[in-house]
Structure 1
Amino acid sequence: MLPTAEQGLICIILCQSLTNFYRPIVLFRLDERTGNIYILAGDELEIEVSRNGRWIFLT
């Protein structure tokens, strides 16, 4: 399964914003079961990007 165009654009925006605030991207993973992208930034920031491009904080 490949990420959608919406997910790709949102992930670029989120990763750019996170690194602007000096948050390292520790993990960037596509969950092949759900199609969601999971981003772990620093020690505590967890973000999930759904297939339609909407994202939420998990912590």
Structure 2
Amino acid sequence: MPTAEQSIRCLILCQSLTNIFTPIFLVRLDERTGNLFILAVDNIEIEIYADGT
């Protein structure tokens, strides 16, 4: 499960991406590192660490 900080940051970033009509293809928790990964159009790759950064 993602941390509370990761969940909040993920929601904020996903909302920001969809506000500019950018499709989000994948949101996944990397079980090896515990980081959240967001993949959007045009090779936008976002990794959210456990502390929300």
TM over 0.5: yes
Q: More relative contact order in 1 or in 2 (CA 8 Å, sep 6+)?
A: 2
Identity level (%): 62
Given the two structures, how large is their TM-score scaled by the length of structure 1? 0.87
Q: Where in structure 1 are there 5+ consecutive unaligned residues?
A: 55-59
CA RMSD of aligned residues (A): 0.6
Unpaired segments of 5 or more residues in structure 2? none
Question: What is the number of residues matched between the two proteins?
Answer: 53
Aligned to 2:18: 19
Report matched runs for 1:46-57 at 5 Å.
Answer: 46-54=45-53
Q: TM-score, normalised by structure 2?
A: 0.96
